[in-house]
Chains A and B, each alone.
Chain A
Amino acid sequence: MSTDFPIERIRNFSIIAHIDHGKSTLADRILEKTGALSARESEAQFLDKMDLERERGITIKAQAVRLPYRAKDGQDYQLNLIDTPGHVDFTYEVSRSLAACEGALLVVDAAQGVEAQTLANVYLAVDQNLEIVPVINKIDLPSARPDEIRAEITELVGIDGDTAILASAKTGVGIEEILEAVVTRMPPPPGNREAPLQALVIDSWFDPYRGVICLVKVVHGVMKLKAEIRFGRTEGKEFELLELGCFTPHATKLDRLVAGQVGFFAASVKEVRDAQVGDTVFSASDHKTPALPGFRKIQAMVYAGFFPIISADYEALRDSLEKLRLNDAAFSFEPETSQALGFGFRCGFLGLLHMQIAQERLEREFNASLITTSPTAVYRVTTTDGTVKMVDNPTHLPPPDKIELFEEPVVRVRIHTPSEYVGAVIQLCEDRRGVQENMEYHGTNRVMITYKLPLPEIIYDFFDRLKTMSRGYASMDYELAGYADAKLVRLDVLLNGEGVDALSIIVHKDRAYERGKSLTEKLRKIIPRQQFDVAIQAAIGSRIISRETVKAYRKDVTAKCYGGDISRKRKLLDRQKEGKKRMKQVGRVEIPQEAFLSVLKVDE
């Protein structure tokens, strides 16, 4: 249609940058330059929407801003800046954001140079054939060394560093040049507006008033208000487009979105799982057009128990979890009962960061007070009668003599690292029972190592270890690669002879003794002294493998209390009582919240 914005003058791009290298500031500067946002408005880092993200300094949910730009050639362009999340748990979401782009700005700190985290995303962008425009940011710093950084870009990233734009998001230097490069160096999106509708879901989130909001890129065809649509992965459901729009960065309503454009829609979709990231949107009546490539079903990798500290809060917690699920397709839960902790929920997550974010959101947004048990992978158990059972909770494991085959999930991990850390990376992977599959050199300094690793070995601290030993340069992503037989056992914890089911973990037999010992030591430090001795034992079946004792405290008494002291002494007791509330009583023993997660930190 003649009124639609010509596709040749649309540019969709994202910014790839290491945390701290100035992505958000640069985005703000671009918004200002195009007039989308006044300097006053730019409220430092507009793109990071949720409080939580701002505090953690990471972007969890993608968002896209439409920017009008009059280029030096005198033409008006429509730029869509698409933001990407930045953690290994969310690699898939990053890849979908990038799939909606034709180009990317690679932002490199002028003093610190290319960082590993950046490289992983650059490779994702290269895989999608994006045009990459390197930007050397913070050139105003006294320690800036742009020439060396240009060489680094050439060598490490494999794109010509001499084409890099020198910029300072702080002072505004180079911003115009960046916008010109977006227009001249990046291609317009391909796309046929006459073809049947195909739109890629880049992101979706729940809005309490309008239901699920989908952020989409229209790849082909047109999306019109009031038209009926369907999602490729959601059978039998059709939705009417009730609202269309784009972010400028404020939400702005539109009548239509056409091929090449990025925008959002609302269609009375009730749950984000009906509008999953990576899915394709079609016209409701169209069942012939194929889905866009690259959809990956979201799969929980780790499970943990969430229990209310006060059992009366169970229903409130269920409500909160339901609300959370509306907004997070990767999150799942079902009721769970623990002998030690009572009624709670078994929850599934993409990874540990995802779990921590969920926990924090529950505590912050829903005011829930939680005990979280240690996260575990999903094991595959074949019993002696031939039944196959998936076990996401150590408590549900059949007795050892009934287990024929005990398999753990295996993941394929790709690690990008500068060559100087290859030795350390291999050491780390071998320590975690890894099997090397491949090792490739890219250029003179970059290595990609592929390992098969048991998932349980990487859930806890693998990523942190990798970062530490490579001084932050190595990066990784992983995907599930089936199941493998392993010598696994359940390690139980007993307090004064009574098993505490919520503290059980599944471990490799060769590690059991070591884990048991460090676990009991850890618990001895965490469990406060009670008025009786507390014996902490780690056991495999009926065999005790380690034991620690928390000695009883011998007094809990105020020496002096007369008529003048009563109000003050009473308040003192009340304060002590408050302190006790954060404890969970298991049998006779009071256990603080953190004990249940201590199982994780055993390697410290």
Chain B
Amino acid sequence: MRPVPPVSTRDTGLYIHFPYCEKKCPYCDFNSHVVPHDDAAYADAILRELDARAPAHRLGVGFRTLYFGGGTPSLWDPKEVARVIRTVREGHGLHESAEITLEANPGTVHTRLFEAFVEAGVNRFSIGAQSFVPDELVQLGRIHGAAAGREAVRAARASGARVSLDLIYAQPGQRWSDVERSVETALELEPDHVSAYTLTVEPDTVLGRQHAEGRFIPMEDDEQAELIERVSARLLAAGHRRYEVSSYAREGIEAVHNTLYWVGGGYLGLGAGAHSYLPAPGLAGSRRRGNLKSPALYLDSTRAKHTPAFEEDLSLEIALQDRLMMGVRTIFGLDLRALDEEAGLGGELVSGLGAEVADLEHQGLLLHQDGWIAPTVRGFYFVDLLARRLAAPLREMRELDRPRSPVLE
């Protein structure tokens, strides 16, 4: 039976990035800056960008989701957040049941603040708890202790909004008993949603530099796999469903905004370093764009031409590759027939991927049903392999080279 995603490829989301933090964590490669900031001025900049760029989108019933990410958006004055949400709703359309998420970090929040955000319109909090083991929080460079993490989740819950909780595990030297402590604590707090990530070394982070110099040695993949299995088993036993590689939720309350990324929906990204994906009909010519990362330069850009840091017009091949790469991350998977039709390939995608799909299914990594594919439980451990294998035949497809009308225009 095919699980039904909470959002479709045709929906559009809005992402707003708040780039400021009290302290930069050594593992974090999101666009965050420890500099003084002006909440009102930043909100003004966001609204200028919204006015300039939103009309270009075909919004239909309005944005299906709104997500405040960071950085640490819980540092943002709730009054400004309220002003932004109001302007989006009134001026540009926000779906009546839109999911409105705000990321909040322990150590920057309290009960009143959550209430204020809820009054502003936020209906879901994503809490960066990361761990409930004090030593691990020090290792991760967090500004808060275990108690603050618990308090933040409780306070968020008390506000009546949905709550998701982030965990980071597979730190070097960590044992299952350590991870178990965090997972058990998390479950006691009864979150609606858990994002449990294995610690990843990203380039251009403190951790990345330490890794390059040999001062940080990540946990072996085999050990990581072992921990993933245990974490997954424990969360499943508590009634959560693993609907994405690192995402667990009770059925029906998955993260709508995140799912939009995975099913290939469009999104407008506002704020410093925010990314947008603007799908084109037929996929060829879909555009990705990234805003300037420096808050100061970004603020300037909103008073001029909204110059981006990069823009990428996707060939049909790349657009398809992205859809496959993202699609195999969730149990919602993707429908190759629908994708073939969307791209106007006349069945070549379905037939071209046939051999790989059959082989991956045979290997027990992929579910396959009438052109619909999704990772199996085992497949969740080999998502990158699935992406590579499925993208490989794209190069051989002659249909992809045929000029298409949107390109010619």
Q: Which A residue's beta carbon lies closest to that of B359? A: A588
| Contact of A566 with B384 at beta-carbon distance under 8 Å, contacts A573-B391, A577-B391 already known | no
Give residues 515-560 of A contacting B (CB, 8 Å): 531-532, 553-560
Count CB-based A-B contacts (< 8 Å). 86
5 smallest beta-carbon distances between A and B, as pairs: A554-B225, A564-B275, A557-B383, A563-B261, A555-B381
Instruction: List 16 A–B pairs whose Cβ atoms lie within 8 Å, in order of A's numbering.
Output: A554-B221, A555-B221, A555-B225, A556-B383, A557-B384, A559-B245, A560-B246, A561-B261, A561-B325, A563-B277, A566-B326, A570-B321, A570-B322, A573-B325, A573-B388, A576-B384
Instruction: Out of B318, B363, B382, B391, name the residue touching A555 (CB < 8 Å).
Output: B382
- Establish whether residues A563 and B245, one from each chain, have CB atoms under 8 Å apart when the complex forms: no
- Check A555 against B228 for contact (C-beta < 8 Å): yes
The CA of A580 and the CA of B389, in the complex, are separated in Å by: 11
- Check B325 against A570 for contact (C-beta < 8 Å): yes
For the complex, give the distance between the alpha carbons of A573 and B392 in Å.
Answer: 11
Bound-complex Cα distance A580 to B392 (A): 11
Given contacts A566-B288, A567-B288, A576-B388, A557 and B381 within 8 Å (CB-CB): yes
Residues of B within 8 A of A561 (CB): 245, 261, 325-326, 329
Query: Which residues from 198 to 253 on chain B have a C-beta closer than 8 Å to any C-beta of chain A?
Result: 198, 200, 221-222, 224-226, 228, 245-246
Least CB distance from A378 to B in Å reads 40
B99 → A minimal CB distance (Å): 15
User: How many angstroms from the CA of A556 to the CA of B329 in the assembled complex?
Assistant: 12
Known: A554-B225, A573-B387. 9 other contacts (CB 8 A): A553-B221, A556-B385, A558-B200, A559-B200, A563-B15, A566-B326, A570-B325, A576-B384, A576-B388
Which residues of chain A have C-beta atoms less than 8 A from B222's C-beta? Answer: 553-554
Mask: chain A, 176-216; 1 = CB below 8 Å from B; 0 = not? 00000000000000000000000000000000000000000
- In chain B, positions 350-366 with a C-beta closer than 8 Å to chain A are 363, 365
What is the distance, in angstroms, from A530's C-beta to the closest C-beta of chain B? 10
Residues of chain B within 8 A (CB-CB) of A531 are: 363, 365, 382, 385
Assuming the A-B contacts A555-B225, A563-B267, A566-B288, are A573 and B384 also in contact, with contact meaning beta carbons closer than 8 angstroms in the complex? yes
List of B residues within 8 angstroms of A558 by Cβ: 200, 245, 383-384
Q: Give every chain B residue within 8 A of A569 (Cβ-Cβ).
A: 325
Residues of chain A within 8 A (CB-CB) of B200 are: 558-560
Q: Are A559 and B382 in contact (CB under 8 A)?
A: no
Residues of chain A contacted by B15 (CB below 8 angstroms)? 563
Does residue B274 face the partner (Cβ distance < 8 Å to A)? yes
A564 to B271, CA, bound (A): 12
> Cα distance A367–B228 when bound, in Å?
45
Determine whether B30 belongs to the interface, using a CB cutoff of 8 Å to chain A.
Answer: yes
- B381 lies within 8 A of A556 (CB): yes
Q: Which residue of B lies closest to A562 (CB)?
A: B261
> Which residue of the partner chain B has the closest CB to A572?
B384
**Chain B residues within 8 Å of A559, by CB:** 197-198, 200, 245-246
A554: which B residues are within 8 A, CB to CB? 221-222, 225-226, 381
**Residue tally, chain A, CB below 8 Å to B:** 22
Flag if B197 contacts A564 (CB, 8 Å).
Answer: no
Set of chain B residues within 8 Å of A576, measured between Cβ atoms: 384, 388
Interface string of B360-395 (1 = CB under 8 A from A): 000101000000000000001111110110011000
Contacts of A556 in B (CB 8 A): 381-385
Give the docked Cα–Cα distance between A556 and B378 (Å): 11
Residues 315-359 (chain B) with a chain A CB within 8 angstroms: 318, 321-322, 325-326, 329
Beta-carbon contact of B388 and A577 below 8 Å: yes
Contacts of A573 in B (CB 8 A): 325, 384, 387-388, 391
What chain A residues lie within 8 Å of B274 (beta carbons)?
564
A600 to chain B, nearest CB (A): 31
In the assembled complex, which residues on chain A have CB atoms less than 8 Å from the CB atom of B261? 561-563, 566
Cα distance A560–B261 when bound, in Å? 12
Give the complex CA separation of A567 and B228 in angstroms: 26
Q: Is B269 an interface residue (CB 8 A)?
A: yes
- Which residue of chain B has the shortest Cβ distance to A532 in the bound complex? B363
User: Please, which residues of chain A bring their CB within 8 A of the CB of B225?
Assistant: 554-555
B139 beta carbon closer than 8 Å to chain A: no
B258 lies within 8 A of A562 (CB): yes
Q: Does B401 contact A (CB under 8 A)?
A: no
Residue B312, interface by CB 8 Å: yes
Q: How far is the CB of B228 from chain A (nearest CB, A)?
A: 7
Shortest beta-carbon distance from B334 to chain A in Å: 15
Residues of A within 8 A of B228 (CB): 555
Q: How far is the CA of A561 from the CA of B384 in the complex (A)?
A: 11
Q: How far is the CA of A554 from the CA of B381 in the complex (A)?
A: 7
Let me know if A555 and B388 touch, CB within 8 A. Answer: no
Contact B380 A557 (CB under 8 A): yes
Taking CB as reference atom, which chain B residue is nearest A560?
B197
Residues in B neighbouring A564, C-beta threshold 8 A? 30, 269, 273-275, 290
Write the A219-244 contact mask toward B (1 if CB under 8 angstroms, else 0): 00000000000000000000000000
| CB closest chain-B residue, reference A576 | B388
Q: How far is the CB of B254 from chain A (nearest CB, A)?
A: 14
A contact residues around B382 at 8 Å (CB): 531, 555-557
Q: Which residue of B lies closest to A581 (CB)?
A: B392
Candidates B258, B275, B318, B392; contact of A570 at CB < 8 Å: B318
Complex Cα distance A559/B198, Å?
6
Q: CB distance B391 to A563 under 8 Å? A: no
